Structure 1
Amino acid sequence: MALHATASADVQAAASTAAEPVSADGQLVLDAPADQAESQKRPQLSEDRAPSPASTSEPQQPAKRRKPNVPPPTMVRKEATFAAGVWANAAVLVDKPKDWTSFDVCGKLRGALKTKKVGHAGTLDPMATGLLIICTGQGTKQIDNFVAMEKAYSGTLRLGQATPSYDAMSEIEEELPWEHITYEDLEAAKQAYVGDILQQPPMFSAIKIKGERLYKAARRGEVVERQSRPVTIHSFELRRDEGNKRDVHFRVSCSKGTYIRSLAHDLGKAVGSAAHLTALRRESIGEYDVADAWSVPDLVAAAHAARQA
């Protein structure tokens, strides 16, 4: 969400660096003294050699360095059989546990898989669960490809209550009436959040403004001006909870960079009340589904068994 996609206050993060160009040192060229002018005249051409025509073509540009071709990573799905060496170039589907950060998962797997290069393709907030794609070895060079894929989330928002983080990770700061809101009101209001929209990131997010993560300013009680960002909501489905009408279950399909927390917050305001997330789960990234994802303990156990084989 971002979730800071929803993606989130933690965010996220990944593992490819581009080399920076380095300029050559210049040398200062001084004008020749007048008494040396004759000695620096261009020598005359010999009689049997005609001068070459002046070139009208543009100077050749230095050839660009081609990026080495990296084979696609091996996709490691739940209960797949694999050898210990697979982590040299792999992408593994993991079901992130609640209250873990995305970096917690990377740290745990870095030790368990015995590989140093580990990165995730899209942050999930600590409160959220669901699909993380963890890339290892040369697979980290493919992270941007996974990040760019469409995401699908399910979750629950609670009407009538607002929090600073837009989710249940912070205390309720405002309560407003919600009983007047009908299902038809929600359906009508959500139409403004389907398609190409502009979305303001929450203060509790890892976006940097003037060199500082937003959530650091938020923890000091500060509010920083944020620019709205373009995102795309492909679909937005709502269902009122039968036992508790203030809870609204949803499913969202969206582009990268979408904050589902902001979507819940904005919808609450649109129906004349407030709202915050109480549950969030990432169901899929592109063609990859959380149903095929490893739990962290099972993946760690399988990796250990592969090393012993």
Structure 2
Amino acid sequence: MNGIFAVEKPYGVSSNKFLQQINNIFTNSSIFGADLAELRKRKLAGYGKNSARGLKKASKAKVKMGHGGTLDPLASGVLVIGVGQGTKRLQEYLGGSTKLYETEALLGAATTTGDSEGDVICKTEVNHITKDMCLQTAKKFVGELIQTPPLFSALKMNGKPLYEYAREGKPLPMEIKPRTVQVYSLEVEESDLLSTDHDYKLKESIIDEDGTPLESKLSENPLLQNDKLHFSKEFIESASQEGLRTDVDPPHLIKDISVQISKAPLLHFVAQVSSGTYIRSLVSDFGKALSSSAYMVKLIRRKQGEWDLSSNCFTLADFQENEQVWGPVLKKVFEHGDEINVLEEMQRSKEKFVQNEHQEQSEETSEEVPKENLEARSEETTNKTDETFTA
């Protein structure tokens, strides 16, 4: 079987590790038995039937799989997966698909990574921030936007990941090349905007081994400070025509690290963006635009291209069902793509599987009539016959 499908990647696992979980399930199922048999046959033919190496390679054959765009371990949501010949179509999702993200962030601090995994770079005042400021700020990012990839990202420079330069405090051999992305919409969730009634605790400052606050050292690292704030091309053009400001006031830093803020105001928004957009960078820039700071604490990819978390996405739990349940549904998705409502089809398939099991059990029960029942029926029949002749 070959094709494309989507599955919900859970929080806390890398995309590659999750892909391996799905691959193991598929490889050990009979659904892909014929495909694997053919693959093993080709591997053996390449090495020779009696080749020990060929036999070893063939025995380790797995279903060919790949994904169409990674999600960080802290993120959950739609992960598009290609199987067999379907892997050739993944480039469509890697470079040109629209994505819908829902994110939550805390205002009042910035981290090295832009999310809750990093160390605190600085803490900033938030008392001046109002709901209206947040709603107006969101409009400044909608349109064509220049983004500089985060320093703590997997992008490489001279073969070395950017995050290694950051951790070592070494200068970059060249400037990080900005990229142009599209933010099609950015809707702030007003129901919990600036709320402190949540379960997220603001990250605390760390004291280094020499007794110096780590954020003091990080704040002096030019690699972490050279991050220019950009608004969308459309906003800049509109603001220049209307005589509006396109710059922002600098944040008010909280330099006393003894000041602990357990609950920070929440920023919650949904953004539809082009491929290559870094949501944690968008969050960080949103904080700067409010003359403060922010870092991401939650990220869900709700849509990627035609695949929607609420309708045509599988879950890991689906593939942990009996393969007779998910196998037929996966085949339909391979044949008809995103037209298939996976949630509905999985429910129908489960019901059909349960009905078939009950029917098989009923047939087995009717076939296995106990011996004593047969003897009792035989004796009853004999007695009735004797009574008839006697009468």
TM class by shorter-chain length?
Answer: 0.5 to 0.7
Whether 2:87 is the aligned partner of 1:174: answer no
For 1:189 and 1:227, locate their aligned partners in 2 and report how far apart those are by CA, in whole Å.
25
What SS class does the counterpart of residue 90 from structure 2 fall into?
helix
Whether 2:56 is the aligned partner of 1:143: answer no
Whether 2:9 is the aligned partner of 1:96: answer yes
8 A Cα contact 1:151 1:282, kept in partner: yes
Q: Residue 316 of structure 2: which of 292, 296, 309 is its match?
A: 296
For 2:313 and 2:141, locate their aligned partners in 1 and report how far apart those are by CA, in whole Å.
30
Matches within 5 A, 1:70-219: 86=1, 89-114=2-27, 115-147=62-94, 148-219=96-167
* Aligned-partner residue type, residue 186 of structure 1: C
8 A Cα contact 1:131 1:284, kept in partner: yes
Q: CA deviation at 1:219?
A: 3.3
For 2:5 and 2:284, locate their aligned partners in 1 and report how far apart those are by CA, in whole Å.
32
* Aligned-partner residue type, residue 232 of structure 1: Q
Q: CA 1:303–1:137 in 2, change beyond 3 Å: closer, same or farther? A: farther
Q: CA 1:279–1:170 in 2, change beyond 3 Å: closer, same or farther? A: same
Whether 2:256 is the aligned partner of 1:256: answer no
Aligned-pair RMSD on alpha carbons?
2.0
Q: CA deviation at 1:101?
A: 0.7
Higher relative contact order (CA 8 A, sep 6+): 1
* Aligned-partner residue type, residue 319 of structure 2: L
Q: CA deviation at 1:109?
A: 1.6
TM-score (norm 1): 0.67
Which runs of 5 or more residues in structure 2 are unaligned? Answer: 28-61, 197-263, 328-352, 354-391
TM-score (norm 2): 0.53
For 2:146 and 2:88, locate their aligned partners in 1 and report how far apart those are by CA, in whole Å.
30
User: Partner residue of 2:256?
Assistant: none
Of structures 1 and 2, the larger Rg is shown by: 2
Which runs of 5 or more residues in structure 1 are unaligned? Answer: 1-85
For 2:101 and 2:326, locate their aligned partners in 1 and report how far apart those are by CA, in whole Å.
33
Kindly tell me the number of residue pairs found equivalent between the two proteins. Answer: 221
User: Partner residue of 2:302?
Assistant: 283
Deviations 1:121-173 (A, max 9, x none): 01111101100011111100000112311000001111111110001112323
Higher strand share: 1
User: Partner residue of 1:45?
Assistant: none
Q: CA 1:210–1:304 in 2, change beyond 3 Å: closer, same or farther? A: farther
Higher helix share: 2
8 A Cα contact 2:319 2:326, kept in partner: no
For 1:262 and 1:233, locate their aligned partners in 2 and report how far apart those are by CA, in whole Å.
12
